[in-house]
Amino acid sequence: MDGKYFHHALKFRKDVCIGCSHCMNVCPTQAIRIRGGKAELKDNFCVDCGKCYRACPVGAIIVEQDDFNQIFRYKQRVALIPSILLAQFPEEVSLTQVSSVLMELGFTHVYEVEHGVEVLKDSMNKHIGEHKESRPLISTFCPAIVRLIQVRFPTLTDNLILLKPALDIAASYYSKMLQDQGHESEDIGIFYITPCAAKIAAVKSPVGQEDSPITGVINMDFIFNKVYTAVKQGFIGKNTCQLPSLDPLKASGVMWPATSGEAAHMAGRTLAIDEISNVIEFLEQLENEENQGIDFLELRACDESCAGGILTSSNRFYTVERMRKRAARADRKEKERNYRYVNPGPIVKYREYLEESIFISKVQPRSMDKLDEDISQAMKKMKRVHELMELLPYVDCGICGSPKCSSLAEDIVQGEAEIIQCIYVQRRMEHQGEMPAKQSLEIMQKIWGREKFEIKDND
């Protein structure tokens, strides 16, 4: 597998890493190895789900973000915020307050991403109705899931709904709207405040698109700390008296990033599954069994969907509760006034323009199981993997520096490991007099680092 399939937002700091293997053990795609006492990433296996980030006890895994100061390169600086952001704050903090602080920080416009849902919902339902032969159709909302399907379930890439997410629709709308107001395209910067690493990777290396309409990405935890500090200290309005003009968001938009946010609005039989291990378990069954009449699958990598993103600051359950309350308020006011309190907003005026470019190209499979581009060589390597598995213990202890015995076997045939890295093989060879204990120790030192085998003086 030559070449790098994806951009990755997760970065490993070897100067901080202690080689504890926590990240390797939680990775759902077996993308991490321990070599020389440090964690190493197999680029083409990683889907940027962020489980390793949460598992690391020493902060050796970081999430990249664009330099905040780059927003000032543009005259029109748009902050695209998901509804998840407002739900990070206590209920007494309003969207107007949050938006006002964002403008004080330097943004000239604030727009909620989920306004794009008003254009997307109809297109998704139409797509589902027209492609019944591909059931179940799978949402492309979560970029970690799209990449998971590419690398681990490549036969399901044909089931993906080839439509842009609400984020891209909102970005395209706001850029076009500003251009229609007379602003030059090069003066417009669209910046997304993200709750997860996978969306950073998707912006930098979009799937099914040549490029992204997003100029840059800023981590939500960074923005949350900036905004909440300003709100608590009462700095709102100190630097500017400008109040943001905000379009009200419909209840469906508020809940779109939460579990069942999409499924609740899709026709037919739908299922919503969150947390990547649950998704993997379900997709494994889906690959091996006939579809049981499911029309649409909403799959999310994080527990409680975007509310559980690794760059969020609030407890995910409180976040979802606040979102539900906000959605209920929008619904209630609409009913009380007996008209569409939350109107579709100006974005619907651009529906025709946005629908012209709403489709993405076919998502290509990137199977991590493919051992070689040449089919005959791949078959030979697969045969060798099976032969090696006969020599390995099937205990998946990870002491070899690979997460599973099958991972070690594949690493061996790819020339990235040796069978003597297996502790059970070492003990067997020692017992048979084929390997001295000193050599076994040297092998372990090569995997886990010499310092782990040094005797420390406690005096």
Contact 61, 10 (CB under 8 A): yes
Tell me, yes or no, whether 381 and 346 share the same domain. no
**Taking the CA atoms of the chain, what radius of gyration do you get in angstroms?**
25
Contact at 8 Å (CB) between 62 and 13?
A: yes
pLDDT at 342: 47
pLDDT at 404: 95
459 in a structural domain:
yes
Whether 49 and 167 map to the same domain: the answer is: no
Asked, as a colleague might, if the bond just before 136 is cis with ω within 30 of 0, I would say: yes
Determine, yes or no, domain membership for 214.
Answer: yes
Based on the domain organization, do 288 and 425 belong to the same domain? Answer: no
**Distance (Å, whole) CA 267 – CA 156:** 21
Give domain status of residue 268, yes or no.
yes
- Say if 153 falls within a structural domain: yes
Checking 225-232 for CB contacts under 8 A at 24+ apart, the result is 225/313, 226/101, 226/105, 227/89, 227/98, 227/101, 227/102, 227/105, 228/89, 228/93, 230/101, 230/104, 231/89, 231/93, 231/97, 231/98, 231/101
How many other C-beta atoms lie within 10 A of the C-beta of residue 300? 30
DSSP designation for 310? T
Residues 148 and 274 in one domain: yes
Residue 291 domain flag: yes
Give the pLDDT mean for 168-184.
96
Answer yes or no: is 362 within a domain.
no
The closest alpha carbon to 262, from 291, 295, 299, 292, belongs to 299
pLDDT in tens, 6-17: 789 999 999 999
Beta bridge partners of 194: 219
SS3 (DSSP) at 414: coil
Burial grade of 396 (CB within 10 A; 0-12, 13-18, 19 or more): middle
| Domain that residue 385 falls in | 371-459
Report the distance separating Cα 389 and Cα 410, nearest Å.
10
pTM: 0.90
458: Cβ–Cβ under 8 A, 6 or more apart, which residues? none
Q: Average pLDDT of 119-133?
A: 90
pLDDT tens digits for range 366-420: 877 778 888 899 899 999 999 999 999 999 999 999 999 999 999 999 999 999 9
What is the reported pLDDT for 159?
Answer: 94
The pLDDT tens digits for 208-222 are: 888 899 999 999 999
For residue 457, name the pLDDT band (cuts at 50, 70, 90): low
Residue 53 lies in a domain: yes
Cα separation of 304 and 274, whole Å? 6
Torsion of CA 423, 426, 428, 432, to 10 degrees: -170
Dist CA 446 CA 332 (whole Å): 64
**Rounded CA gap, 4 and 42, in Å?**
9
Q: Give the integer Cα–Cα distance in Å for 168 and 114.
A: 10
DSSP single-letter state for residue 159: G
The rounded mean pLDDT for the chain is: 91
Greatest Cα pair distance, the chain, in angstroms, is: 86
201 and 273, same domain (yes or no):
yes
CATH number of domain containing 26: 3.30.70.20
Cβ neighbourhood burial of 372 (10 Å; 0-12, 13-18, 19+): middle
More confident site: 342 or 457: 457
Q: Tell me the percentage of the chain whose pLDDT exceeds 90.
A: 78
